[in-house]
Every structure is written in C-alpha cells, then in structure tokens.
Structure 1
Amino acid sequence: IKQLKVRGAPAIGIAAAYGIVLGALSIQAADRNSYMDKLQTVFSDFAGSRPTAVNLFYAIKRQKQSIADKTTPSDIKQALKDTATLINREEEKAMTDLSRAGSALIKDGFNVLTHCNTGQLATGTSYGTALGVIKAAGEQGKHFTVYVDETRPLLQGARLTAWELLQLKIPFKLITDNMAGHFLSRGHIDCAIAGADRIASNGDTANKIGTYSVAVLARENKVPFYIAAPLSTIDTAIKSGSDIPIEERDPEEIFQVRGVRIAPHSISALNPAFDVTPNKYISAIVTQKGIITKPFARNIKTIFQEDH
C-alpha cells in the first residue's frame, strides 16, 4: 500500500482487510491480552500507510468491530477472515451496482473525459468506479470515446486506464493532463467522470491530484463533472473538504518518469498526491444506491439513513 503496489481507495480497503488477517495469523500469543497488544501494532501499521483514502480506515474500523466480543486468538483470527471476505463481497456488489446506475449518464456518441485509474486495478472488483461506469455503458452497446488524462506524476491514466480500456475494446484517446482545458473549450468533451479517495459529508471530494483542475475547467465550459464512488468512500464524520488530510509523497516521483531523471539535480519539488474538489464543481455523485444530486449535504445524509 505504501509503495502503491496496491492503490485506488476501494482496493486499498480490501487489501488492508486481508492484510490485517495476515498480520493476525503471524502473531504468537497464548492469551487474549498479549495477542491484542500485538494485533494493535498491525492495525497501527495499516492506519499509518496512507492518510487520505477513507476506505482504509473503514476496513480497519470494520475489522476492529468484528473482534470486539471475541475471547480467544483463534476466534479473533476467524472473525477477521470472515470480515475481510465480507468487505470484499460488499465492494464487488457496490461497484457493480454503481457502475450500472452511472451508465445512464453516458449517452451514445459521447466523448467522456476521465482522470487517473478507477477500474478493476483500482478497486479489486469486476467493474470499478468511474471506469466501471464507462465499462457498464460499453456493455450496453453504446458507442463513445474516452479521453484519458495521462495523470502525472505516476501516469496511472497512461499506464493503467489505457491498458484496461484496451482489454475492454472501448475506443479512447490518451492526452496529457494540460490538454484537458483545450478539448473542453473546443466542445470535444460531453462529460467528465472521476473516482474519489474520500468524500466529505457535504460532497467535497478528495481525489488524485489534478481532479480539481478538471472539475473547474469542466464547469467553465458547461460540461457536467461526475464523481463515482461507493458509500464506503463517503466520510460522514468530516463536514467539508478542508478537513480531509492530503498525503504528501516523495518529491523523487516528480523528478523521474519510470526511473529516468527529467529534472536537474539539487532542486526541490512539491508532491501532494490528492487535491480537493469543492462540491460546487460536482454535478452528481454516483453510488451503489443511485445518483446523488444537489444539495449534497442533505441528500448524502438521506441516503445513509436509508442504507441503515
């Protein structure tokens, strides 16, 4: 997770759930107290791996809740295994449902702009979030073209989204991140859709760095901008995007592309992994329970009340 071998908020959550199981299985302890002391270190290690993606903390919380009433190490291990499997199955269904719900937003003949990677590789599921919506629309026989931002600095769009679209046989064009405004202003884009790493209770959304720019450019050019994410990505404990922690990554990611140095030595760089898109730039949020429209604060609260 730290090295981005697993990335994408839903995939991080699933991997963390199973990772906690692996950590639990490696612990040697005779009684519950000593076992729990060691298990707490496992929880802490995962909690400190990446700060922005709320699915990580959702998985940790679910795992902690699952063992609250367990009295023996063997029962704890089994509960953790069962919960990890359940989280995986729940996310699989959530991605399938949200993808099919969101597919209505993509019409025949559209050009769709997307950012970063939000498909199977980012979610550990059969569909995905934003790319899952695109996949579902393609399965319905719609003909459209995807514009794929390369997504600097790690090129998730060029390396991952482009590969997934090739497998799906959905037509696409790869563009650099700074081309988005050009194509939006020329009327080449009909809608833009991105995933999310954490959504505040008012709809403000943290996602891969560059998402905010796409959203602002889309609004300026009167193009709808959608977020696709499961309910597990919505953090109802956070009121607005200003409360979302933003991960700062190693500047070396800026200095290199695939191991090749592209900048002078002895310089500094900034490398926030995410930015926050204020809710005013978001047209709707696609979830497994349907499409959430404005006002987001009220409608997010309502959908959680209905879900529980």
Structure 2
Amino acid sequence: MVLEAIRYEAGTASTPPALQILDQLQLPHRTTFLDITTCEEAHDAIKTMKVRGAPAIAIVAALALAVETGKLLTESKLPSSAADVKQRINQRLDYLKTSRPTAVNLGDAVGKLKSIAENATISADAGGIAVAQAYIVGAERMLVDDVSDNKAIGEHGARWIHANTIAGKKWQADKTQELKVLTHCNTGSAQSLATAGYGTALGVIRSLRAANSLTRAFCTETRPYNQGSRLTAYELVHDEIPATLITDSMACALLAKEGEKLAAIVVGADRVAANGDTANKIGTYSLAVLAKHHGVKFLVAAPRTTIDLATPSGEDIIIEERAPEEVTRIKGPKVTADGKLVLDQEAELISTAAVGIDVWNPAFDVTPAQLIDGVITEVGVVEKHDGKFDFGSIFGQP
C-alpha cells in the first residue's frame, strides 16, 4: 500500500478541486485525513504542523488556493477583471506565506505562482477566468514536479554515497558489506510526509534500499516535537526498511560504535543560503559537528527551490521560535500495563518539566557550510571547490 500524505483531485467544469492532508499530529497511532477547502484551513494546518516539511507546506499552500479559487470559479463568483483576480491571488498567497517564515520553499512557490498570475493577466485574451485557470494549472504542476524532483534527489544521493564514502566503496567491491545511514527529523519517502512524493533525505535512503545496498537506517527521535519517532519511524516501518530509532543524544555513541559502516548522515533543509549554510530542524548542527569529528560524510538533501541565492549566509536566516509547551509537555495514547495502546480514548497530554521553568524553543538551527560535504539536488550533488559552495551552475548561471 502506497503511503499518501497529500491527496489532490483536479476539478471539472462543474466541480472544484479537492484537497486532503494526512494529519501528522495524529501519527503514528491514528491515520486521519483532513479536508482543506480554504486558505485559512491551510494556514492553520501549516502553522500547527498538521502538515510539515518545507516542500510539503509549499505544495499544500499552493493547492489550497487552487481549491479555493476553483470553488469560486465553479460557482461563478470570480471577478470578471483579470487584474482583480490577480490581486486576490496575490493577497491570498501573501497570507499563506506568513504560516512558516523559515522554510524558503513556501516563499519560492509564492513568487512563482504570482508570476503565473501576472503573465496570465497581460495576455491578449486576459479575463478573470483565464487568470484563475492559469493559477490552478500552475499549482497542480508544482505537485507533479515535486514528485519527480524528489526521486531524482534520491538517485543522485545514492550514487554519491556509493562513490564517495568508505562504506559505499566497500559495498561496491563486496556486496556483503554493510552500509548504514543516519537521518534527522522527517524528510519523507514513498508518498512522503514532508514532500508531495518520494522524499528528500529519506528519498536517498529509499534509493539506497532499492539498490540493495542499505543494510540499516537510523533515525533520531528529534526532540522536542518528535518528528523522527512519530513520523520518520512510521514511514520506515511502512516501507519495511530495516531501521532503528535513537534519541538525539545517542548520535555520538552511535557514530563511535558503527565506525566505517555508517556511510553518511543525510538531512533535509528548510533553507540553504547562497554560501551553503543550511537551516534545518534543531539538532542538525550538532550532528554535523559529530560527523566531522568521526569522519562521516554529512549531506543535505534539498530541491533547488530550497536554495535561496538571495540569502547570503546563515546569519540572514530568520529562525522560528515555537511555544514552550512543545518542550514541557508530550502527547500520546495511554499504554496498558501489558504494553497495549489504548486508541479508543483521547490522547493524554503529559507534563514533563518543572512548572515555571523558562523555555527556549528554536525550531531550527543553522549548520555552517564548512561542515557540509555536499548538497543533493534534483540535478546532481553540489560539492565545495576550494572550500566554498557555488550553486550557480545548477541554476544555469556562469
């Protein structure tokens, strides 16, 4: 069974598009899909992390406005003026962009969709309906492109690991050799939770598994929001990939224990600055430091939409800070004395910290470029030359 996180059905002449998302707050114990019919519902889903992952939130935002616009179109409630429809689209996109400030994919999608609306407005036969239809087609195209891009990321990353890591080279010489990978947070695989399709960092793991080279994946718990234990573990179990869950603080001991068998640490990204500094889930920076010390390759898997050439360095990235309660509380179903889950009752919210303690809860940290060995994109792996990343070539720049 294919895992779905985003369900989208294109509209017809008489029916608007339809969008559902898998509520990731209910995972791994409940599989619940939510209808997204308005931009407000999409904004809330992104803000509260019912949907998460930089590529996925951009797709959900784009499609939510497609659904909203399609409904107005089928009900004949759109303005006849192309300029008025474009203005409405721009306003709704600006609103959606405020849902998560750190992830660059959302801003990139907003910019591209605004351009689509603008180009439709200035065409010779421009009218409100034509602009709306152009927007819907553009949003749907993003969904298709995300799936193909992530599959390419997985394939490029797997080939790079085979060719550039000790474990990869040993496996190529002797197919009985072990090759293991560690990942952090949740970046998706097989109709991913963090993307619309194959996934980025977990897409690399999936491609390694498809090549019969991966013997085990490790995933971190990813405190305080537990995306690793709730989501990545859920996907790995679903895809029947041999995997082991560790707490964040166990990573150093794991690297020391596994030695050369651990080929790489592969993570996703919410924003990659022009110099290669990378914002990703809190805890990524410390993993990069550990990788450098232990001689393990550290790779960032991200589509080109995540690379922000307008942001010079990590110092210019806005880091989102989240509610203290994410650190001081934890939610989940009850467990009976014999270890069985009680799923017919509401999940329990449990306090895990001293009442009154101050909390600092940054959602992301920034890993310096000098700790990153390569950035895996849908067009290939970008490596440093003379100690610096140059992303110009993958954007067609000299």
TM-score category, normalised to shorter length: over 0.9
1-structure distance, mates of 2:356, 2:139: 45
Correspondences of 1:1-308 after superposition (within 5 Å): 1-25=46-70, 28-30=77-79, 31-69=81-119, 70=121, 71-104=126-159, 105=161, 107=168, 108=171, 109-119=178-188, 120-125=192-197, 127-188=198-259, 189-258=262-331, 259-295=349-385, 299-305=390-396
Q: How far off is 1:298 after superposition?
A: 5.1
- Secondary structure of the structure 1 residue equivalent to 2:280: strand
Unpaired runs of 5+ residues, structure 2, are 1-45, 163-167, 172-177, 332-348
Which residue type is aligned with residue 316 of structure 2?
A: D
Structure 1 stretches of 4+ with a deviation exceeding 6 A read: none
Alignment RMSD: 1.8
Could you say which structure has the greater relative contact order, defined with CA pairs below 8 angstroms and 6 or more residues apart?
A: 1
Gaps in structure 1 of 5+ consecutive residues = none
**Closer, same or farther in 2 for the Cα pair 1:261/1:292, shift >3 Å?**
same
Match of 2:50, SS state, is coil
TM-score, normalising length from structure 2? Answer: 0.73
Give the distance between the partners of 2:145 and 2:51, measured in 1 at CA: 19
Decide which structure has greater helix share. Answer: 1
Matched residue of 1:112: which SS?
strand
State the percentage of identical aligned residues.
41
Confirm or deny: 8 A CA contact 1:23 1:39 kept in the other structure.
no
* Alpha-carbon distance between aligned partners in 2 of 1:299 and 1:58, rounded to the nearest angstrom: 20
Aligned partner of 2:59: which letter?
Answer: I
User: How many residues of Structure 1 are paired with residues of Structure 2 in the alignment?
Assistant: 306
Q: Is the 8 A contact 1:2 1:49 kept in 2?
A: yes
TM-score normalised to structure 1 length:
0.94
Task: Name whichever of 37-46 and 149-158 sits farther off.
Answer: 37-46
**1:243–1:89 CA distance, 2 compared to 1 (3 A):** same
Distance 2:148 2:139 in 1: 15
CA distance in 1, matches of 2:293, 2:388: 23
